[in-house]
Structure 1
Amino acid sequence: MSRARAREIAKTVDTFLHPDDLMRAIGVSRNTLDNWVAAGHFPAPVEIGMTRAGGYAGRVAWLKSEVDAWILARAAARPVPNPLAAFDGANQPA
C-alpha cells in the first residue's frame, strides 16, 4: 500500500475517547455525562468491550468526531455580543 493511500485511510478512521479524558476535556463528572447521554443532550458512547454479567455494558468510549461536532454546535449556539451594538453613529461626536 502506498504512503498516500495509508494517509487517506488514516484520515477516515475515527478515534475513541476514554471517559476520563472526555470528562477532563469538557469539565463534567461521570454522573453529569451519563445524565446528558440519557437525556439525549450528548452523543451516546460506543461499547468497545465485552458485555458484563447482568447485561451491563463493558468498556465504553466516545467517538472523537461526534464529541467535536457537539462542542462546535455548543459554541455556535452561544450568544455572542455584537461589538457594534453599542455604537450609535448618529449620536457620536464628529
Structure 2
Amino acid sequence: MSRARTREVVATVDVLMPPEDVMYALGIGSRTTLDKYVAAGWLSAPVEVGPPRRNGSAGRVAWLKSEVDAFILARAAARPVASPLAAFDGASQPA
C-alpha cells in the first residue's frame, strides 16, 4: 500500500536580488556606490543569506526585490515633472 504524497504550494513572499542585479536595476556601476547608497540610508540594508566569513564580516548578501522596487518608485516620484501644458501661456492661445 502506497501513501499519496501531497505537495503544498507555497506562495513566494519576495525575491532576493544579488548585488549584481541590484546594481543593474539601479544603473550603478560599482559595488562601492551600492554600499554608499546603503550607508547614506537611501537604500535598505541587505539581508544576509550566507554564513559569516571567517574574519567575522558578513557573508553573501541580497536585497529584497520589493524594497529595490520601492526605492526606484520613490526616486521616480521625487523627480520634477513639468506639465506638458506649462510651456503655453493661456492668454496667447487661440480661441
TM-score by length of 2: 0.83
Partner of 2:88: 87
Partner of 2:16: 16
Partner of 1:69: 70
Q: CA shift at 1:35, angstroms? A: 0.8
Q: CA shift at 1:26, angstroms? A: 1.3
**Residues 27-38 of structure 1 mapped to structure 2, 5 A cutoff:** 27-28=27-28, 29-38=30-39
**Please, which runs of 5 or more residues in structure 1 have no aligned partner?**
none
Alignment partners' CA distance in 2, 1:72 and 1:24 = 16
State how many pairs are aligned. 89
Q: Identity of aligned pairs, percent?
A: 67
Q: CA shift at 1:90, angstroms? A: 1.2
Alignment partners' CA distance in 2, 1:93 and 1:35 = 52
Q: CA shift at 1:93, angstroms? A: 3.4
Larger radius of gyration: 2
Alignment partners' CA distance in 1, 2:38 and 2:11 = 28
More divergent stretch after superposition (59-68 vs 79-88): 79-88
- Structure 1 stretches of 4+ with a deviation exceeding 6 A read none
Q: CA RMSD in A?
A: 2.0
TM-score by length of 1: 0.84
Alignment partners' CA distance in 2, 1:93 and 1:68 = 44
SS at the partner of 1:55? coil
More helix by share: 1
Q: C-alpha offsets along residues 37-80 of structure 1, whole Å, 9 cap, x if unaligned?
A: 01111111000000111210000000001001111000100111
